[in-house]
Amino acid sequence: MRSNVAPFAALLFLVFSALLFKSCKSNDDDAATNVNANVVSDLPEGTWRISYFFNNNADHTNEYISFTFNFNTDRSVEAANDIFSETGNWEYEDASNDASDDDGIENDEELLISFTNATLLGELSDNWHITSASATRVELFDESSDGNMQFLTFSKL
């Protein structure tokens, strides 16, 4: 006499597995679309400072601690301290626009910062990947062409 329990158990296992797999489905597609779009409205709302800058395998935050940054709605950014000021540009690039992407990471959001003079601020010129953004903090990273990781965090004053 052959038991019908084994095929039923296998079918039950497959149905349960399919339901479990569906419930664990990633929301990466939904999350990748403009989750940090608030940077467009938050950055121009106040004065910012660099609270962390890691570049060339070293912490360079202290070199920028005296600077304040004002991100304007016309996409200019003004950086100044007591003895120096420079105006650059900034742009937000959402996940659907990787046209100027320089590193092959697809479907990410970026903050593009550009200072044209070869000054200390020129080190900030890059296509920065947005790790997180809020009304008071923007965390960014990039991988340089030599494989070194760079991290930049702006905090609102």
Over residues 75-94, the pLDDT tens digits come to: 999 999 999 999 999 999 88
What amino acid is encoded at 139 in this protein? E
Show the DSSP H helices in the chain as ranges.
Answer: 5-23, 28-31, 38-42, 61-64
Rounded average pLDDT over 59-78: 97
Q: Is residue 13 part of a domain?
A: no
Of 18-22, 33-37, 78-82, 130-134, the one with minimum mean pLDDT is 18-22
Q: Which residues constitute the domain of residue 119?
A: 31-156
DSSP-derived 3-state class of residue 17: helix
As a whole number of angstroms, the distance between CA 104 and CA 93 comes to 14
Domain CATH code at residue 88:
2.40.128.540
For 133, the enclosing helix (H) or strand (E) is strand 126-133
As a whole number of angstroms, the distance between CA 94 and CA 101 comes to 11
Q: Is residue 8 part of a domain?
A: no
The model's pTM is 0.73
Q: Is residue 5 part of a domain?
A: no
Q: How many domains does the chain have?
A: 1
89 or 147, which is more confident: 89
Q: Is residue 18 part of a domain?
A: no
Rounded average pLDDT over 144-153: 90
What amino acid is encoded at 9 in this protein? A
Q: What confidence tier does 73 reach under pLDDT thresholds 50, 70, 90?
A: very high
